[in-house]
Amino acid sequence: MDALKQALRRLAKAVVVITSRYEGRRYAMAATAVSELSFDPPSMLICVNRTASLYAPLAGGAPFAINILHHSQSDIAAICAGRLKGEARFATGDWPETDLAVPRLGAAQASIVCRNVKQVDYGTHGIFIGDVVEVYMEGLAEPLVYVDGRYTRAMDADATII
């Protein structure tokens, strides 16, 4: 398994914050295990560890938003990756509510809001499938990227490393 962990550290992924609201409480969690699933119907797939606080609301059927972070939002990624807990994760940034009452990051590059339609548990994680009901976009595509245990940014081939 150590070889697998080391191999996966080489898989660069955009950083997202998955948000939800359940029984009046807001939840946020940084993640990279997110993928588009289908365009017909438009749907997304997220994977959440069963030990994460977000797991129970999603298992209860709560809708969710996938907020794709801009490279300048590493502070929000760190906060939602565990630096802070609970409602404190919403103290940084603007978090308006969507039509499904899900908080979304107002300055995210994109927010994809999903109705939670299917759950499959496998190993340590829950796999949740959501039908896309709203999409918000902001600015240019300049994602925050996680690779080899650190945050960085995607660059054009002729760009200089920062």
- CA 30 to mean position of chain CA atoms: 5
Q: How many angstroms separate the first and last alpha carbons of the chain?
A: 32
pLDDT tens digit string along 74-85?
999 999 998 899
SS3 3: helix
- CA 129 to mean position of chain CA atoms: 13
Q: SS in 3 state form for 47-106?
A: EEECCCCCHHHHHCCCCEEEEECECCCHHHHHHHHHHCCHHHHHCCCCCCECCCCCECCC
Q: What is the pLDDT of residue 5?
A: 87
Q: What is the mean pLDDT of residues 33-40?
A: 96
Is 159 domain-assigned?
no
Is 59 domain-assigned?
yes
Helix, strand, coil percentages (3-state) for the chain, rounded to 5, are: 15, 45, 40
Range of the domain at 127: 2-153
Is 162 domain-assigned?
no
Structure tokens at 111: 């927010």
pLDDT tens digit string along 12-25?
899 999 999 999 99
Question: What CATH number does the domain containing 41 carry?
Answer: 2.30.110.10
Is 160 domain-assigned?
no
CA pair distance 56, 76, nearest whole angstrom? 22
The number of domains in the chain is: 1
* Look-up of token digits 């039908």: 131
Q: What is the mean pLDDT of residues 48-68?
A: 97
Q: Which of 67, 83, 63 is nearest to 75 (CA)?
A: 83
